[in-house]
Each structure stands twice: as C-alpha cells, then as structure tokens.
Structure 1
Amino acid sequence: MNTIQVTQNDYNTLMELLARNPGATEDEKTRQGALLSELLRADILPEAEIAPDVITLRRRAHLVELESGDVLDYTLVLPEEADVNEGRISILAPLGTAMLGFRRGDVFEWTMPGGAMKLKVENVLRG
C-alpha cells in the first residue's frame, strides 16, 4: 500500500469533521471509518512541504481508470461543499477518501459495490 501525504491543516480539519459528525447510519460509519484509516496511515506534513501534485482538500485531480481509459475530474472538498455535477466530490465519498494524499503518477484502487477500479492520477491542480 502506497504511503499518502496529508497537510497538517487538512488532517486537523478532517479529524474535527469526524469528531463533530458521528455517523448516524451504518453507511456513514463505514465511510468515516475508511477516512480515519487513511488519516492514520498518512504522513502528516506542513502545507509548505506538500508537493503541488499531491491530492489535498480543494485540489482538482485528473484521474484515468486503467482498464477502460475513462477520465474522472474532481476537486476534493468537505461534505458541505460537494456537488458532483460541478465536479466537487466529498472527502467522505468512497472515491474522495480513496484519492486523498496520492500524487501524480500514483495508481490507487477504488472499491465499489460492483468491484474494484484502478485509477491513475494523471494531474493535480489547485481547485
């Protein structure tokens, strides 16, 4: 499993999000548990030490699904800012949690009910 990088500010924001919003449903608890697992395995660094090609909150990621070649473009945001139609995906969405901390060139797996997808980070931009 690749090591991911998370800014200290994002780490603090996301830990506060998890603390103030305990999951009401099993699905919410599962999603929050997945995010917590990612945060606990991350290298936490000051923002100045995070490369500009790392997916953090409010950065836009250009992803390519390796099997089909399908392209996904999303800006990673907090739940209250999410709007998939506008290309903003919540950090608590399974894909949002899966993409956190990866950088250009990395390949990661996104597990869905229908199976797993391998995605490559093609580019990362400021959201």
Structure 2
Amino acid sequence: MSRKIYITEADLGKLEKLINAAKEFSTGKKEYLEKLELELAWANVVLPTAVPDNVITMNSKVLLRDLDYGDEMTYTLVYPDDADLAQDKISVLAPIGTAILGYRAGDDVEWEVPNGIVRLRVEKILYQPEAAGNFDL
C-alpha cells in the first residue's frame, strides 16, 4: 500500500460488517473483499466531523476521469443494497467502488478490474455527506 486513505468511523464499522457477511454468505471469488479489507486496514480512521471535505466517503458523488481514454464519469459510492448503475450509483464492493473509497480530489487511482487495470483521476467531489453536515447516511 503506497499511502493511506481516509474513512469515517461509521463507514468503517458498516463496511467491516458488510465484508464479514459477504465472506460468510457469498460464493465464488472473494478477492475484492480481501482488497477492501486491505484498504481499510491501512486507512486513516477519522470522526465524521474531521474527515477532509475533498475525500470520497460513502454516499459521496464524484467526478472521475479515465486516464487512458479521457472519459469522464460521475458516480455516487453506495452500499450494495443501494447500487443502481442506471442512476450512476456504484457499490463499494464493485472494483471501481473499492478503488475510489477514501481517495481525495486530485488523486490518481490504479486498480485491477476483471478486464485489466483501470487508471482514474478523482477530478472533483461533487457531494460529500460529511461536508454537507449529513452524518446519518
């Protein structure tokens, strides 16, 4: 791990429960769970009131740029039950969702996905619940 990401205490607790449930009840490959666990193990855990406003937290809406193709995409990072690609809501358990969690605006992210390596830049945080004073999401 080259550097630490930021995550709120509340998100960490929810994600740890999610990982444990997925490990217990999910069949098939669990590599994505191990990657998420590794990210969380190295994370800077902060109070919701202390998370920097340029960090991707759960329920943040972000503008990403594909560094290989130049495409821009907007996603809201959500828990699996709220995921809906038609509404650009991407699960934290999806490869890109796991990849962007905790990164800051301006960061470049490289992450292994089923089709190879994706290289993204976090262009902008369009909405972050903590920055908006919404600590209950």
TM-score (ref. length: structure 2): 0.86
* Equivalent pairs, count: 126
Task: List aligned pairs for 1:69-108, cutoff 5 A.
Answer: 69-108=70-109
Deviations along 1:32-82, one digit per CA (max 9) or x if unpaired, are: 111111111111111111111100100011000112111121100000000
What is the aligned-residue RMSD (CA, Å)? 1.3
Whichever residue aligns with residue 102 of structure 1, its letter is Y
**Residue 3 of structure 1, CA deviation:** 1.6
1:3 and 2:1 are equivalent in the alignment: no
For structure 1, the residue ranges without an aligned partner over 5 or more in a row are none
Report the 3-state secondary structure (helix = DSSP H, G, I; strand = E; otherwise coil) of the residue aligned with 2:26: coil
User: Does residue 126 of the first structure (1) align with residue 135 of the second (2)?
Assistant: no
Unaligned runs of 5+ in 2: 129-137
In the alignment, what sits opposite 1:31? 32
AA aligned opposite 1:116 = I
Runs ≥4 in structure 1, deviation > 3 angstroms? none
What percentage of aligned pairs have identical amino acids? 37
> Which amino acid counterpart does residue 80 of structure 1 have in structure 2?
D
